[in-house]
Structure 1
Amino acid sequence: MVIYMSRAYVSSILDAPVSRVWSVLGDFHSLARWVAMIATSEPEGGEGIGSVRRVTLVDGRVVGERLVAYDGPHRSYAYEFDDAQAPFPVGSYRGTVHVLPVTDSERTFVEWYGDFDCEADAVDLLRETFTGIYSEFIADLRKHLSTPS
């Protein structure tokens, strides 16, 4: 068995100021408010580093994600799967969200990526799966930000 490290990466520009984007995306436990595929996102163990968001998908599957790093001033955080049985066939996984201002406009650069290891024959499928999920999340975020508050 060959284990392979890989990264799935998505980035985009959102037509909203970085403070507005981060006010939504930076709330680790609020996914259910703006991600269509998520029915609920419940915090366990507090709100900060080490806390878990227990996410229930609309199809009923439940995924635990533990916050492992949070940098508010630099607008980024990282999380790992919390459960002993990860929802994907990976040995390890670390997702990262990061937003930056586009300095010549009131727009925001957002990147969402995951570093993971898996068997070599699963790399392409997992990279495609994670890239699709991040793209869907960013599209949902874009839609949420375009809706009047």
Structure 2
Amino acid sequence: MAGIKVSTVVEAPAERVWELVGDFHGLGGWHPHLPVSRLGDGPAGNAIGSVRIFDLDGVELQETLLAYDEEARSYTYSFPDGTFHFDGYRATLRVAPVTELDAAFVEWSVTFDIEPEHRKESTDRVQGVFTSGLAALRERFTG
């Protein structure tokens, strides 16, 4: 099992940051490199089992919401085995308060299995998505 963790501090209260990132279907609205998703089969909103679908240059990416915790400000999602060579892909986005600064700590992490020949390219892609998303989120609240 391999994994990636990317984090940042956003200069805004955790509640405000969560209002934006806590919408499972809203990722494409604040991430600069992802399109707006559409609702797939299953329940809508932040209900467990909800599916968001991204159209990425002719590739359809379906992500399914596995866990959602409003109080802890986190959610976990997956996509089907074999997507971008990953198996067991489980990603979590969470927002925690940095009380001393009245700011938010935002972490995006993932665990997965992947064949060695695909590890570098695929993990670099995911790390880039996470890093650019969190950078845009930080800039959104400081600008």
Match of residue 37 from structure 1: 33
Q: Is residue 82 of structure 2 the alignment partner of residue 81 of structure 1? A: no
Contact in 2 for aligned 1:79/1:95 (Cα 8 Å)? yes
Contact in 2 for aligned 1:8/1:128 (Cα 8 Å)? no
| 1:38 CA drift (Å) | 2.0
Judging changes above 3 Å, is the alpha-carbon distance between structure 1 residues 85 and 116 closer, same or farther for their aligned structure 2 residues? closer
The secondary structure found in structure 2 opposite 1:77 is strand
Question: In the alignment, residue 131 of structure 2 is paired with which amino acid?
Answer: S
Give TM-score, length-normalised by structure 1: 0.85
Judging changes above 3 Å, is the alpha-carbon distance between structure 1 residues 85 and 122 closer, same or farther for their aligned structure 2 residues? closer
Q: Give the stretch that moved more between structures: 128-137 or 64-73.
A: 128-137
Distance 1:61 1:16 in 2: 35
Match of residue 19 from structure 1: 15
The secondary structure found in structure 1 opposite 2:71 is coil
Contact in 1 for aligned 2:9/2:138 (Cα 8 Å)? no
Gaps of 5+ in 1: none
Question: In the alignment, residue 102 of structure 1 is paired with which amino acid?
Answer: V
Question: In the alignment, residue 50 of structure 1 is paired with which amino acid?
Answer: G
Match of residue 56 from structure 1: 55
Contact in 1 for aligned 2:77/2:91 (Cα 8 Å)? yes
Distance 2:9 2:86 in 1: 29
Judging changes above 3 Å, is the alpha-carbon distance between structure 1 residues 142 and 103 closer, same or farther for their aligned structure 2 residues? same
Match of residue 10 from structure 1: 6
Superposition RMSD in Å: 1.7
Distance 1:33 1:106 in 2: 24
Per-residue deviation, residues 58-98 of structure 1 (Å, max 9, x unmatched):
x343211000000110001000004x651x10122001111
The secondary structure found in structure 2 opposite 1:30 is helix
Question: In the alignment, residue 76 of structure 1 is paired with which amino acid?
Answer: S
Distance 1:121 1:61 in 2: 21
Q: Give the stretch that moved more between structures: 11-20 or 121-130.
A: 121-130
Q: Is residue 137 of structure 2 the alignment partner of residue 134 of structure 1? A: no
Distance 2:37 2:124 in 1: 24
Gaps of 5+ in 2: none
